[in-house]
Amino acid sequence: MGLFSKRVKEQSPPVNKKDLIPCDKAFVGPPKHYGKPQLPPKVTKEHSQLYKSMLEYFQNDKLQLPIDTTHTETLKPLTSKEKCWLSRECLLRYLRASKWDLDAAIKSLKSTLVWRREVGLSLIDGITAQPLTSNLVSVENETGKQNILGFDINRRPLLYMKNGRQNTEPSFRQVQHLIYMMESVTTFTPQGVENITVLIDFKHYKEPGIITDKMPPLSIAKLCLNVMQNHYPERLGKCVLVNIPWFAWAFLKMMHPFLDPNTRQKTIFDEPFENHIDAAQLQSLYNGKLDFSYNHEVYWADLSEKVESLKKYSYERFLKFGGLVGLSEFDLKGDHQDLLYPVDYENLS
């Protein structure tokens, strides 16, 4: 069956209404019965040497980077929170995405660090004009067109994207909204998990505030794809798309050349979400048990608070364990007292 072929949909019996679980907020952490956190993956001796070289580069106290892509002559050293973001797993993600080409990985990661400064994710005192906050993009989510809710069996957080709940005209703020949600859902990844699962629904929902179910302009779509592929590499675990109308199929075919092979491999077309997510973690709209009702005033403030709380928790542990580039996310997201993975730890296969 071809990549863009339509699949035969298998309908499961509807969930009994008595089994529905009322829900209006995101929840932190997968069910305990999904298992314990996986330990950091081992690497070969050759890859370990490449990692060490990359670590040394970003540990250099003399390293300074532009504040944005326009003022390339204005350089600033890494902030403490940028160093926290530069975890062991982060460096390895960029190495894997670059097929273990050290120079390419360093160049790509430097590009992302400058990009994060430019879009307002990394704040430079006295310079950052507009931090990327939940308030900045709040209007974009008033109809609930994106939700973070639940986890798949691999303990990956779920990001729902509902194109048919579009409430704004195309603009860069739509890209900022995607960035905020990507930053949030990756923050929701629990200890031992690096990937997310994206669930995309193209159904048009006719409710107040919803203006269109049309595809975004190709320029906006390419910007969004650039964000996900270049600045959140190795983060996508799976992407499932449902309710795809004919014009969306045409749009997806236009976007296909811009997808990297890794993204294509993880994308599943026209299969029910319930084939991939346990009912207890899936919204009832898709035959799950979570009776999710989107109330923007309730959901959005709660999501923002939880994201900031998770970031604060990891940052406090980062400082506790020495405040160094290369600390492991396993240590930063855990609740154990002692450091398990020092920056010079060799986790050889």
* Token pair listed for 343: 């920056």
Supply the pLDDT for residue 208: 73
For strand 21-23 and strand 290-292, is the pairing parallel, antiparallel, or unpaired? Answer: parallel
Specify whether 58 is located in the same domain as 127. Answer: yes
Tokens of 50: 């490449």
**Domain tally, the chain:** 2
Q: What is the mean pLDDT of residues 38-57?
A: 96
Report how far apart, in Å, the C-alpha atoms of 140 and of each of 11, 34, 70, 162, 301 are. Answer: 32, 33, 27, 12, 14
Within a domain: residue 102?
yes
33 band by pLDDT with thresholds 50, 70 and 90? very high
Q: For 200-252, write each residue's pLDDT tens digit.
A: 998 887 777 777 666 677 778 888 888 999 999 999 999 999 998 877 787 77
Q: What's the confidence (pLDDT) of residue 179?
A: 97
Average pLDDT (55-74) is: 96
**Same domain for 288 and 153:** yes
Mean pLDDT value across residues 167-179: 93
The CATH number that applies at residue 264 is 3.40.525.10
Is the confidence at residue 55, as pLDDT, over 70?
A: yes
The pLDDT of residue 8 is 46
pLDDT in the model for residue 185: 98
- Residue 280's closest CA among 33, 53, 105? 33
Mean pLDDT of all residues in 105-121: 97
**Can you give the residue range of the structural domain that contains 279?**
17-36+136-294
Looking at the fold, whether 142 and 121 belong to one and the same domain comes out as no
Per-residue confidence (pLDDT) for residue 214, from 0 to 100: 67
Q: Is residue 340 in some structural domain?
A: no
Tell me the pLDDT band of 172, cut-offs 50, 70 and 90: very high
Residue 87, domain member (yes or no): yes
Residue 70 shares a structural domain with residue 54: yes
**Whether residue 103 is found in the same domain as residue 143:** no
Q: How confident is the model at residue 5 (pLDDT cuts 50, 70, 90)?
A: very low
pLDDT mean across residues, the chain: 91
Instruction: State yes or no: pLDDT of 4 exceeds 70.
Output: no
Tell me, yes or no, whether 82 lies in a domain: yes
Which residue blocks in the chain are alpha helix, DSSP H?
45-59, 80-85, 88-97, 102-119, 134-137, 172-187, 218-230, 246-255, 261-265, 296-320, 329-332
pLDDT at position 239: 94
pLDDT at 256: 74
In a domain, 290, yes or no: yes
For 325-349, the pLDDT digits (tens) are 999 999 999 999 999 999 999 888 7
- Asked if the structure places residue 22 within a domain, the reply is yes
Same domain, 49 and 157: no
- Residues 153 and 272 grouped into a single domain: yes
Are 145 and 222 part of one and the same domain?
yes
3-state secondary structure of 80: helix
Measuring CA to CA, how many Å separate 72 from each of 113, 128, 168, 171?
Answer: 13, 15, 33, 25
304 assigned to some structural domain:
no
In this prediction, residue 262 carries a pLDDT of 82
Rounded distance between C-alpha atoms, residue 266 and residue 268, angstroms:
7
Least confident of 14-28, 52-66, 247-261: 247-261
- 248 in the same domain as 184: yes
Q: Which residues contact 221 (CB under 8 A, 6 or more apart)?
A: 215, 251, 255
pLDDT score of 10: 58
- Please indicate, yes or no, whether residues 155 and 232 belong to a single structural domain of this protein: yes
Residue 42: CB atoms within 10 A of its CB come to 11
Q: Is a pLDDT exceeding 50 seen at residue 74?
A: yes
231 and 176 assigned to the same domain: yes
* pLDDT of 60 strictly over 80: yes
Of 3 and 302, more confident: 302
Assigned domain for 303 exists? no
Do 150 and 30 share a structural domain?
A: yes
φ and ψ at residue 22, rounded to 5 degrees: -60, 135
